Chain A
């Protein structure tokens, strides 16, 4: 052997690898072209776009998106629709030769099988790119909504496309392991069910298990400010990247590729590191912040004054003040000016610690204790006459809740955390003031009457506090909402003193406001 022969052989090998690399890229491009026009891909993309359009155009909540929740919400449809398409189409591409009987002919062609599998894996990147573009469009649309609150986490946003690529690679691997086209859809179904189950705050089992699914479970009972989230999104992304590398390694190894040891080690390190990092409990500081935010949020909030009303909110949610103020003004417009001019505060609250899983069932005693805690905090913060808003906004139910709490506060001046049943003329007055505050509130009230024969609970839905209107008063309120608002408003202002008295009965309210009063059982346990 001469001294020149070794480099020469290396050079030949290098040229061979380069040639195969170029062939793999060409095959990957062809596979990507085939994938993008596959009916499953087209249906998945159209469904995803349709779902996003529906979410944007139908339902008011998306006029006030909480961005730190939206970046998580989008991951599930990304996984099921776009990831599902990548999984199924990638799988079918690998199975194509078996399904169409071309393996004998193409098995003796030059490009080795691992390079062909590499091309299938490259084609899967198309789905990742597609998901990235669609997710970014979604993120831009959401972030530029006038009522957008908070901010998106780039790691959360990147998780969706990463899951899509991961599922596509999984489809390639499954195609090599099983010759059946049914395995990939069944795998997708299993992932969708497991992830869906773990996305509920009331999901059984240990919450950290959800982090090992492609889409990490969303277990908060309500949107939280960003500083309370402490989601290990970056760790999860690292975990996903590690699993992706391992799936790619497995696919290449199965195809006969043997130079995958280093990649396997990298994948294992990423998967284990990310997996451990993502299930590490939030630090003490975050836990302390969550407890504080739940009990005494004033210390984490900023207050915005609009005339005599102070809106105290977590900084992420300042954009919502105008929406709250519009509802509040619609209530105050219908009360005597002297009442409307009295100072008031609207404070945003969250339940960031100690949420009761299995439903937010809270006993009256717990409600009283919580109200006392809230009122003490409000007093200390210099806002004794406070009503509560949560971290969801934009639908009639929430407008109705805020309007009812404002109306009750005008009448009773009790402060935050009110809980109980309203009776007599006061119930009618609060119900009407709330219902007329916005078209959404009126609709919500009517829907409540249609759904509930025993009355309606009006308040901040996230906490269960608020006032309950018995069925008789609710029926009266709904019939009042059918009358011209100015006529009712004039009668309310004329008879405010009598209507707002605690001892004025429902029948008398009906007489004053000119509507017949439906019969009803005797009131019991009314708020004093």
Chain B
């Protein structure tokens, strides 16, 4: 069951967090609902900081934040949130000498599953969810990269969390593993809020009902993937030659050039994609900064 404020699993307003002189989050405001939300942004945009803050790993300097109806700045709020949040950090390590079962069991203990029978039942449930029930006795060091990533997701799923925070979960996976992962995440998003940080625009397109674009510690876009694509409506063109005037320009598999921004002379208007919208947004923001 999800506790939420106004239907939001996460609600943030003016969230600010600094690492010394560096402002990682500069007044982030957002609302997360049930379903899969993609978090996009260039490197250093503050995605990981935002996810760690939502997972109670960092305390914001200012702003309002409610996660599953609780304030993470209080001890009782953090405790309540931690009981109901699953967090998979970027490049999360695993203990290679543990078996799959031991590792998830270890995490379950840290989630205060104090009853052994109930805990083991939960571990079995989680392993079945990620399709690892037949590999529970294997040492983690013997697993492939994709299987290890499933173990990491299993770790985040212990306790059937209402909010799942996944930081670049598909990094390093081959296409088939990524496809399987999308299936899994989509399934997980059916009954809870899932926030997925990714550099893979395709993941957002395939998975997410909502998308957030973070840039320099601020939310620059919040909406549906189609709305992000619509940002580039009328600004995406194809032509037979490269143009210097476009924000971005590249040769496609058809041999024609695709441009975002102002069209060259022989250009034809093209249907914008989520990636186009994202690129246009990011390029505009960086150009705007350069002009300033």
Contacts and interface: CB of A to CB of B under 8 A. Distances in A.
Interface string A21-42: 0110011001000100000000
A23 B52 contact: no
A191 to B, nearest CB: 27
Which residue, of B87, B110, B111, has the highest number of chain A Cβ atoms within 10 A? B110
Nearest to A31: B106
A113 to B, nearest CB: 10
Interface stretch (A65-73, A99-107, A121-129, A179-187): A99-107
B169 to A, nearest CB: 12
Nearest to A26: B109
B114 A26 contact: yes
Contacts of B55: 108
A105 B156 CA distance: 8
B87 A105 contact: yes
B140 to A, nearest CB: 9
Given A108-B57, A110-B111, A111-B111, A30 B102 contact: yes
B110 A111 contact: yes
Contact of A105 (B88, B105, B109, B115): B88
B89 interface: yes
A20 B93 contact: no
Given A23-B109, A30-B105, A102-B92, A108 B114 contact: no
A19 interface: yes
Size class of the contact patch on chain A: 20 to 34
B122 to A, nearest CB: 13
Interface in A229-248: none
Contacts of A100: 93-96
A109 interface: yes
A110 B57 contact: no
A96 interface: yes
B92 A30 contact: no
Nearest to B98: A34
Q: Is the interface of A mostly helix, strand, loop or mixed?
A: helix
A116 interface: yes
B202 interface: no
Interface stretch (B78-86, B239-247, B284-292): B78-86
B112 interface: yes
A27 B95 contact: no
A20 B114 CA distance: 8
A108 B161 CA distance: 13
Interface in B130-170: 152, 155-156
Nearest to B155: A105
A20 B115 CA distance: 11
Interface string B158-190: 000000000000000000000000000000000
Contacts of B156: 105
B287 to A, nearest CB: 34
Contacts of A104: 52, 57, 89, 92
B200 interface: no
Nearest to B80: A110
B112 A19 contact: yes
Contacts of A30: 102, 105-106, 109
Contact of B110 (A19, A22, A34, A109): A109
B256 interface: no
Interface in B257-273: none
B111 A109 contact: yes
Contacts of A111: 109-112
Nearest to B105: A30
A102 B95 CA distance: 8
B56 interface: yes
A23 B114 CA distance: 5
A34 B106 CA distance: 11
Contact of B112 (A23, A102, A105, A106): A23
A410 B98 CA distance: 72
A27 B109 CA distance: 6
A108 B107 CA distance: 11
Contacts of B210: none
Contact of B95 (A19, A26, A96): A96
A109 B106 CA distance: 11
A110 B95 contact: no
Contacts of B96: 100
Contacts of A101: 91-93
A27 B89 contact: no
B85 A22 contact: no
Contacts of A19: 112, 114
B116 interface: yes
A57 B121 CA distance: 50
A20 B56 CA distance: 19
A108 B92 CA distance: 13
Contact of B116 (A26, A108, A116): A26
Contacts of B106: 27, 30
A464 to B, nearest CB: 56
Which residue, of A23, A30, A101, A105, has the highest number of chain B Cβ atoms within 10 A? A105
A110 B82 contact: yes
B15 to A, nearest CB: 17
Interface string B28-59: 00000000000000000000000010011100
The 7 closest A-B CB pairs, nearest first, are: A101-B93, A22-B114, A109-B110, A104-B89, A100-B93, A110-B112, A102-B93
Interface of B: 52, 55-57, 79, 82-83, 85, 87-89, 91-98, 102, 105-107, 109-116, 119, 152, 155-156
20 contacts: A19-B112, A22-B115, A26-B109, A27-B106, A27-B110, A30-B106, A34-B98, A34-B102, A100-B95, A102-B92, A102-B95, A104-B57, A104-B92, A105-B156, A106-B107, A106-B110, A108-B52, A108-B56, A109-B111, A111-B109
Interface of A: 19-20, 22-23, 26-27, 30, 34, 96, 100-102, 104-111, 116
